[in-house]
Amino acid sequence: MKDLDFMARAIELAKKGQLKVQPNPMVGCVIVKNNKIIGEGWHKEYGKDHAEVNAIKNCKKKFGAKKAIKLIAGSSVYVNLEPCSIEKNTPPCSNTLIEHQIKKLFCGTLDPNPKINGRGIKLLKKAGIETNVGLLRDKCKELNRVFFTNQSKSRPYIILKSAQSLDGKIALKSGESNWITNSESRKNSHYIRSRVKGILVGRNTAEQDNPSLTVRLTRDELGLGKNAVIEQPAKIVLGNLKKSKKVSKIFSGNSKIFIGSRQLAKKSKNVEYLQYKKKNFLEEFLKDLLDRNISSILVEGGQKTLNTFIVNNLFDELVLYTAPIFLGKGSKDALNLNSPAAIKTAMRLKMIKLERFKDDTKTTYYNNNL
């Protein structure tokens, strides 16, 4: 096997932590001696052991502690993200690698966290360990788009989602919108919900639709073990929302609830009301959510809320589910944006994936490059 193969394996391992590690990044680690993998691991859950530690434990389990320590000494380690150099929930991984006397380290990217960025590499170099940064860099950065966005923009990673007709409508004039897309599309949208830390809607959507804002997939559908707990994302509402029968589903369950508005700030059980003085407080609200470990958010509408995120250029990804139907004149548009002064000044997105669910199509766009 080649260096690229070992790094590709580290990336595959990292993906296994997708549903459990946020706000931490997904990280995988492979330990190689004489061109053979002697240990591998990944960061499995936020607050638990990092990938490097799990790979060392895996090696010790396979060969026994005494033999493993000898094997790891002089080995090469492949990890998609720079080993951490600060102690938070776990000891610094760079120190652990130095203690085990590895010979070489290959990492895909530096950690974008300014407290770490390059520091782990410097510690390893100082200890006489040969380092190589940049192997499969683009794939490693793509894997952790959420984490890189959190660090560079000081806000959660934002995914805008809309289900629409061929003529760009999201509801009839009467307000009826169930169901524009088919069951397979809706099931896929729940998979997106499972990947984020929060689901956001505007107050009007909350009051009109009384949504549950929960993940309704089984453990098997999510690829989880039979004893795994399905973690429900936080419920987030933009605009003043008070408890009532018409929004009963939002306030049901044990999920955290965050409501951002210009009304009085207060806390009660699992509900936190965040108060803002400015009329346009969206950016400030998002930073406050990141401070509460809401590292990624799925915005599910409605029209006014989606417009607000787009106008303020506060989104990273747009997902459109399109059903093969026409809803016609008078029906509600998915968006209601002002026209740009010229086509060349219009916001342009990058289409990265096109999928099909029976007769529905799902198109995913990126709004920026890392």
Identify which of 108, 95, 88 has the alpha carbon closest to the alpha carbon of residue 14. Answer: 108
Alpha-carbon gap, residue 208 to 246, rounded angstroms: 8
Alpha-carbon gap, residue 201 to 282, rounded angstroms: 13
| Catalytic residue check, 52 | yes
Alpha-carbon gap, residue 352 to 348, rounded angstroms: 13
Identify which of 323, 322, 313 has the alpha carbon closest to the alpha carbon of residue 349. Answer: 313
358: left (phi over 0), alpha (psi -120 to 50) or beta: left
> How many CB atoms lie under 10 A from the CB of residue 324?
12
DSSP 3-state assignment of 222?
helix
Alpha-carbon gap, residue 344 to 326, rounded angstroms: 29
Q: Which amino acid is at 331?
A: S
CB 238 within 8 A of CB 340: no
Beta carbons within 8 Å of 26's beta carbon, 6+ residues apart: 14, 15, 17, 18, 42, 43, 80, 143, 144, 147
CA distances from 328 to 65, 173, 190, 323 (A): 69, 10, 28, 13
One DSSP character per residue, 341-356 reads SSGGGS---EEEEEEE
CB 43 within 8 A of CB 68: no
**Of 12, 45, 52, 355, which one is the catalytic site residue?**
52
Q: Which residues pair with 186 in a beta bridge?
A: none
DSSP 3-state assignment of 50?
coil
- What is the CB-side half-sphere exposure of residue 329 using CA atoms within 13 A? 0
- What is the CB-side half-sphere exposure of residue 273 using CA atoms within 13 A? 15
> What residues act catalytically?
52
